[in-house]
Amino acid sequence: MEASFIFEKLWNDYIVQNPEAKRVFDCFVSEGETVVNDHIAFRTFDDPRISIDVLTRPFLLSGYVQRGYYIFEDKHLTAKHFEHPTDNKAPRVFISQLMLQHFSPELQKIARQCVDNIADSLLFGNDLIYAGNVWGTPSFGVYEKLRNESEYAAWLYVYGFCANHFTVSINHLKSFKSIQQVNQFLKDKGFLLNDSGGEVKGTPAELLEQSSTRAGILPVKFSEGIFEIPSCYYEFALRWPDTNGELYSGFIAKSADKIFESTDFYKK
């Protein structure tokens, strides 16, 4: 499958889950901009049946190659990023996984039971990446229990496999020259930004600046009824040239650490 088809399907699901992202996208379009994605991010558990290496299959088949490997000690995550070597409009793919053995036996058991519920056709095929919640209607009690240990685990338990965020490449915007200008534009339009660790994560010296909206609040059907919880968010990235003159293409672990918090629970 061509990568562009994968991303189109992921985007269509993403804007249903996150209508605010579509409104942000439309704001840029009405400024005359063409939105190009810097990267698209996914989450999973490090259970070998659904690990990064499993989710990566469709991207490798469409020509992507692995570039970076990252460790987020505080969040107990590892991640890899992938790029398409010839198509320079193809977004980077960033996939992280939660290191289950760092958590309580109870969290590990919940994760294992979730994976046990996934159909073999998904585990052995190439469609898991956009299959959504493949372990059944979540319980709000379990969601709350997971949140005590890991907001990441709680988010994944509810939403499963989908784009956690798309990221607008500020480098590809014509009339926005700084990330501060993008942030002000979004705030003027009434969008909430994630300010954990400051609105801008990273510096020009680190070669990557990023900001993100706070995840929109979505009514979700749990076994106990409908509850409003955070869904996905939209990210913005500005890359700076490295000493070789080319734009830096990797990720900064300490910045991403704070950006993961964009889906932390909050009350509207």
Angstrom distances, CA of residue 42 to CA of 50, 64, 120, 164, 222: 12, 15, 21, 5, 22
CA dihedral 32, 38, 42, 46 (to 10 degrees): -170
Question: Helices 19-30 and 3-17 meet at what angle, rounded to 10?
Answer: 110
Q: With CB under 5 A as the rule, give the number of residues binding Ni ion.
A: 2
Task: Give the nearer residue to Ni ion in terms of CB position, either 107 or 235.
Answer: 235
Nearest approach, Cβ of 123 to Ni ion (angstroms)?
Answer: 26
Amino acid identity of residue 168, one-letter, is V
- Report the half-sphere exposure of 189 (CA within 13 A, side-chain side): 19
Of residues 6, 10, 40, 41, which one binds Ni ion by CB under 5 A? 41
What's the closest the beta carbon of residue 97 comes to Ni ion, in angstroms? 15
Q: Which is nearer to Ni ion, 222 or 248 (CB)?
A: 248
Query: Which among 38-46, 139-147, 186-194, 215-223 is the span making contact with Ni ion, rule CB under 5 A?
Result: 38-46
Contact between 89 and 36 (Cβ < 8 Å): yes
In the complex, minimum distance from the CB of residue 249 to Ni ion, in angstroms, rounded to a whole number: 13
Of 62 and 210, CB closest to Ni ion:
210
Smallest gap, in angstroms, from Cβ of residue 259 to Ni ion? Answer: 6
83 near Ni ion (CB under 5 A): no
117: alpha, beta or left? (left if phi > 0; alpha if psi -120 to 50): alpha
Position of tokens 């501060």?
180
The sheet with strand 92-98 has its strands ordered as: 65-72, 77-83, 92-98, 37-45, 165-169, 233-239, 208-212
Nearest approach, Cβ of 260 to Ni ion (angstroms)? 9
Nearer to Ni ion, 110 or 186 (CB): 186
Shortest Å, Cβ 219 to Ni ion? 25
Which region among 36-44, 99-107, 132-140, 148-156 touches Ni ion (by CB under 5 A)? 36-44
> Could you give the CA distance from residue 166 to residue 31 in angstroms, rounded to a whole number?
19
Query: Which range, of 37-45, 47-55, 81-89, 216-224, touches Ni ion by CB under 5 A?
Result: 37-45
222-251: contacts with Ni ion (CB under 5 A) = 235
Query: Minimal distance in Å, beta carbon 121 to Ni ion?
Result: 30
Q: How many CB atoms lie within 10 A of CB 131?
A: 16
Residue 224 beta carbon to Ni ion: minimum distance, rounded to whole angstroms: 32
Between residues 41 and 146, which has the closer beta carbon with respect to Ni ion?
41
CB of 163 closer than 8 Å to CB of 13? yes
Q: Given the complex with Ni ion, which of 235 and 257 has the nearer CB atom?
A: 235
Residues 6+ apart with CB under 8 A from 258: 194, 196, 197, 201
Please identify, using beta-carbon distances, which residue of 21 and 142 lies nearer to Ni ion: 21
For residue 240, count CB atoms less than 10 angstroms from its CB and return exposed for 0-12, middle for 13-18, buried for 19 or more. Answer: middle
Interface residue list for Ni ion (CB under 5 A): 41, 235
